[in-house]
Amino acid sequence: MTSRVAGRSGKQAGFERAAAPAGGTAQSRNRAGYGLVGPGLVYLLVFFVLPVFTLLATSLYVKPPGAEVGQFVPALEFGNYAVVLGGYWPELLRSFGFALLATVLCLVIGYPMAYLIAVRLRGRALVQGLLLVLLIAPFFTSFVLRTQAWKQILADEGFLVQALKTLHLMPQGASLTATSVAVVAGLTYNFLPFMVLPIYANLQALDHRLLEAGRDLYGSDLAVFRTVTLPISVPGVLAGTLLTFIPASGDFVNAAILGNNRNTTMIGQVIDSKFMRVLDYPGAAALSFILMVAILVLVTLYVRRFGTRDLV
Amino acid sequence: MGHLPATTSPESAPETVLAGPGQQPAGDRSAPGGAELVLHRVRKQFADFTAVQATDLTVRAGEFFALLGPSGCGKTTTLRMVAGLETPTGGSIRIGGRDVTSLPSYRRPVNTVFQSYALFPHMTVRENVAFGPRRRRVRDWKARTEDFLRLVELHHLADRRPAQLSGGQQQRVALARALVNQPEILLLDEPLGALDMKLRRQMQSELKRIQAEVGLTFVHVTHDQEEAMSMADRMAVMNEGRIEQIGRPEDLYHLPRTAFVANFLGRSNLMAGTVTGGGGGTGPLFEVDASGHRLAVHRDRAVSSTGEVLVGVRPEKIHLRPAGAGADGATAGGGVNRVTGAVTDVAFTGVSTEYRVEVPGLGELGVFAQNRGEDLMRPGDAVGLSWDPAHAFGLDGRQDAAAGDEAV
């Protein structure tokens, strides 16, 4: 009888194959598909691919002898990369370090938030909606303004530092303003929704019956979370960490507002000042390119390690 | 044995032992007989409606029990309360004599085959089956998992993900995942609902075979009366949060005690009438006057033998003959249980022919006639109908005669 069952499913598979091409030829559908992605492709070509090549070209320019500030000529000077890498590798490393810390903090803070809204409050649409609005509401005020506000929160005479000092969790002479702690705190705060929303979207789609099945199969709440909820939410976590880490590692606003110029400088600040103030275009372009490639490599390794084919 | 899986390759044949407990491979699949399930005054009240009214129910150890009813009748809620996925508003649940009412689902000796299977999509078939034994830290969980994968004939697909399996195969994974824990009671929530008819029939006999082999108590929830009747040792018919009747399928079919059961389980002709002579006689039969027709009912086949009653008879129990022909098969004499009418509809289904016959005063009656080569009647033909009082049943006349007619 097994063979009969196998024969049946074989036939069904044949059915599906036969049914698939029905309704318009594959060719005409392909053409329609290209038509739909066309505008997007053109947009990407003009505003992404071309600029990337311009950036690459600029990064190889040289300053001719006796030229004015900001004046460069086309060349193939790969030495630019060695120069900026030699000069700014600490800022590059620090950027990734800060971004990593902020990402981990966002995950630790954001996952429970997403879990609460999507799983624990399932079926209570009003509370869910309210919490989501609260999560996104700060975005209605300016990024810079919110970051400035963190200066006040972390100020020496502020409530937080006073409380920490009273509780002897912070030495009396210490300060949070203009420290790496402040920068990471700012990054964490500003990128938190980018972590919460993808995880929320993922958990929202989690089939509740799987949790019941887990409990039915002798899993305690903790065991079910560990073996069912968490593994199934990996794609959401993956998306959230990428959406947090990538912009955080290139960010310069948080470090500029909440940091100092000694040990909190991030690579984004360096690029910003090279482009806007020092007018070292090839250096800035080279750094941008290095940052881009480094992120690409890190992300690829990360996705290879944690992303599974059928979950991403 | 008419069991479903029989392997094709000779080398794996010894593993697919499905014949009996004596020939089992590694491990022992049979649990010690399953446990008795007792519901005492169990009820469930949701915010705005009562899903299950105070219910008493005893499922015997090792029994294949079916909970049958239309959707929304409370059968799934009842099952979920046994599983511990729903907390009863009142009453107690005992499994094998132990009160489990307040135990969380993961501490109950019960496993469920869910309607949607609820297989873990991120795990392989093997990991799905091993889930329960691993949570309980069963020492030989690996061997046991393999054993039950073989029981459901899926060991060759053990490394696939559920999404890569057909519906029938997913169903078997769900079954193995529950059975591997050797629960005292296995709960099945419409487990065959998503399968096509043919696969459904196969899985029905497969389930029966597995139940016989593992010897567990099975509680099977379904809205398919044929499925319930063909599989269950005993069954309960539920309606609007109440159990209408409990018993063996054939008993429920032959002697329904409510209009709902009479209509939901198969089909019935229910005729309203009044008991004549007060029904106070001492004989085994009493008579009912239904719009001038004299109908006889056995006293012990009637819920009520006074006042208003509903007299029921199954369509296949009615003899149909051309009007004026001699009575055949009707044992009651003197025009009792004999009516005449006109055929209004004829549906030839092969094995039998389904007639609708308009009888003045009684309305339209359904008659199933076996096809033994006689000529079919035609619409408009005058016919005589008769039936043995031993096949009629009496119900309380205060019920809606159409209850359960449309419900599925």
**pLDDT tens digits, chain A, 312 residues: what are they?**
333 433 334 334 433 344 444 445 666 777 777 888 889 999 999 999 999 999 999 999 998 888 888 888 888 989 999 999 999 999 999 999 999 999 999 999 999 999 999 999 998 999 999 999 999 988 888 888 899 999 989 998 888 998 998 898 888 888 888 899 999 999 999 999 999 999 999 999 999 999 999 999 999 999 999 999 999 999 999 999 999 999 999 999 999 999 988 899 999 999 999 999 889 999 999 999 999 999 999 999 998 888 755 443
Across B121-130, average pLDDT: 95
Task: Check residue A62 and report its DSSP letter.
Answer: B
CB contact under 8 A, A217 and B7: no
Nearest CB to B7 within list A2, A219, A231 = A2
B325-362 pLDDT, tens digit per residue, is 654 444 334 478 899 999 999 999 888 999 999 999 89
Q: Which of B104, B114, B181 sits opposite A213 (nearest CB)?
A: B114
Write down the residue that tokens 């129910």 correspond to: B57
Of the residues B15, B120, B148, the best mutation for testing chain A's interface (the one with the most A CB atoms within 10 Å of its CB) is: B120
Could you give the dihedral angle defined by the CA atoms of residues A256, A259, A265 and A269, in that order, rounded to the nearest 10 degrees?
Answer: 0
Cα separation, B147 vs A297, whole angstroms: 45
Q: What is the DSSP letter of B30?
A: -
**Pair of tokens at residue B380:** 């408009």
Smallest CA–CA separation between B219 and chain A, in Å?
Answer: 15
Other CB atoms within a 10 A radius of the CB of residue A50 amount to: 11
Phi, psi of B221 (to 5 degrees): -100, 130
Rounded distance between C-alpha atoms, residue A196 and residue A111, angstroms: 6
Answer whether residue A24 is part of any domain: no
Which of A294, A296, A282 lies closest to A57 in space, CA to CA?
Answer: A282
More confident call, B112 vs A33: B112
- Interchain contact, B168 vs A5, CB within 8 Å: yes
Q: What is the pLDDT of residue A15?
A: 39
Under DSSP, is residue B294 helix (H, G, I), strand (E, B) or coil? strand
pLDDT over 60 at B1, yes or no: no
Residue B269 near residue B339, CB atoms below 8 Å? no
Side-chain half-sphere of B269: how many Cα atoms within 13 Å?
Answer: 28
Name the one residue in this structure whose structure tokens are 């002898």: A65
Name residue B359's beta-bridge partners: B363
Q: CB burial class (10 A; 0-12, 13-18, 19+) of residue B379?
A: exposed
Judging contacts by C-beta atoms under 8 Å, the chain B residues touching residue A212 are 85, 105, 114, 118
> For B38-44, what is the mean pLDDT?
95
3-state SS record for B239-287: ECCEEEEEECHHHHHHCCCCHHHHHHCCCCEEEEEEEHHHHCCCCCEEE
Of A209, A227, A228, the CB nearest to B114: A209
How many C-beta atoms lie closer than 10 Å to residue A21's C-beta? 10
Angle at A70 between CA A65 and CA A73, to 5 degrees: 55
Closest CA to B23 of B41, B45, B4, B1: B1
Q: CA triplet A79, A80, A84: central angle to 5 degrees?
A: 120
Q: What is the span of the domain harbouring residue A217? A: 78-311
The size of the A-B interface in CB pairs under 8 A is 81
Angle, CA of A123, A128 and A131, to the nearest 5°: 165
Residues belonging to chain B: 408
What pLDDT does residue A141 have? 86
Cβ atoms of B237 and B244 closer than 8 Å:
yes
Q: Quick check: helix, strand or coil at residue A11?
A: helix
Q: A215: distance to nearest CA of chain B, Å?
A: 5
CA angle B375, B380, B385 (to 5 degrees): 70
pLDDT in tens, B88-101: 999 999 999 999 99
| pLDDT value for A24 | 55
In chain A, positions 194-223, which contact chain B (CB-CB < 8 Å)? 207, 209-210, 212-220, 223
Between CA B210 and CA B200 the distance in angstroms is: 15
Q: What is the pLDDT of residue B401?
A: 82
B314 pLDDT higher than 90? yes
CA distance B165 to B172: 10
Tell which wins on pLDDT, A308 or B168. B168
> Kind and range of the H or E element at A185?
helix A180-204
Q: Which of A295-299, B32-36, B200-204 has the highest mean pLDDT?
A: A295-299
pTM of structure: 0.78
Q: Which two tokens stand for residue A280?
A: 């070292």
Indicate if the pLDDT at residue B12 is higher than 50: no
Residue at A58 is within a domain: no
State whether A216 and B85 contact (CB < 8 Å): yes
List of chain A residues whose C-beta atoms are within 8 Å of the C-beta of residue B132: 217-218
Q: In a mutagenesis test of the B interface, which of A5, A15, A218, A232 is the best target, namely the one with the most B β-carbons within 10 Å? A: A218
How far is A111 from chain B, CA to nearest CA, in Å? Answer: 19
Is residue A51, in this structure, part of any structural domain at all? no
Q: φ and ψ at B310, to 5 degrees? A: -110, 125
Residue A49 makes CB contacts below 8 A (sequence gap 6+) with none
Nearest CA in chain B to A209: B118
Q: How many CB atoms lie within 10 A of CB B297?
A: 28
- Distance, in Å, from the CA atom of A75 to the CA atom of A70, rounded to the nearest integer, reads 15
In angstroms, the Cα distances linking A86 to A62, A82, A250, A286, B2 are 17, 6, 19, 12, 78
CB contact under 8 A, B114 and A219: no
pLDDT value of position B201: 86
**For residue A15, is it within any domain?**
no
pLDDT of residue B2: 37
If phi > 0 it is left, if psi is from -120 to 50 it is alpha, else beta; for residue A253 that is alpha
Measured between alpha carbons, how far is B219 from B222 in angstroms, rounded to an integer? Answer: 10
C-beta of residue B401 within 8 angstroms of C-beta of residue B363: no
Query: Which amino acid, residue A67?
Result: A
Beta strands in B158-233 (DSSP E): 185-189, 217-222
Q: Which residue of B4, B83, B136 is in closest CB contact with A218?
A: B136
- φ/ψ of B10, rounded to 5, equals -65, -35
B106–A209 CB contact, under 8 Å: no
Contacts of B153 in chain A (CB under 8 A): 2
CB–CB contact A227 B131 (8 Å)? yes
In this predicted structure, what is the pLDDT of residue B191?
87
User: Per-residue pLDDT for B76 more than 70?
Assistant: yes
**C-beta neighbour count of B304 within 10 angstroms:** 16
Q: Provide the 8-state DSSP code for A119.
A: I
Q: Which amino acid makes up residue A88?
A: Y
Given a contact cutoff of 8 angstroms between Cβ atoms, the answer to whether A135 and A193 are in contact is yes
Amino acid residing at A276: M
Measured distance CA(A6)–CA(B153) in Å, rounded: 12
Q: Beta B382-386 vs B393-396: how paired, if at all?
A: unpaired
**Are the Cβ atoms of A1 and B84 closer than 8 angstroms?**
no
In a domain, A29, yes or no: no
**Chain B residues close to A2, C-beta within 8 Å:** 4-8, 153
| Residue where the block lists tokens 């289904």 | B349
Type of residue numbered B214: V
Tell whether A232 lies on the interface with B, counting CB pairs under 8 A: yes
| pLDDT for the residue A183 | 95
Q: How many domains does chain A have?
A: 1
Question: Which of A260-264, B117-121, B302-306, B325-329 ranks highest by mean pLDDT?
Answer: B117-121
Task: Provide, as residue numbers in chain B, all residues whose Cβ is less than 8 Å from the Cβ of A311.
Answer: 122
Query: Domain containing A190 — which CATH number?
Result: 1.10.3720.10
CB contact under 8 A, A217 and B111: yes
Residue bearing tokens 């046994």: B82
CA distance from start to end of chain B: 33
Interface residues of B toward A, Cβ cutoff 8 Å, are: 4-8, 83-85, 104-107, 110-112, 114, 116, 118-122, 131-132, 135-136, 153, 161, 163, 166, 168, 177-178, 181, 202
Question: CA of A11, closest CA in chain B: separation in Å?
Answer: 12
A80 close to A286: Cβ distance less than 8 angstroms = yes
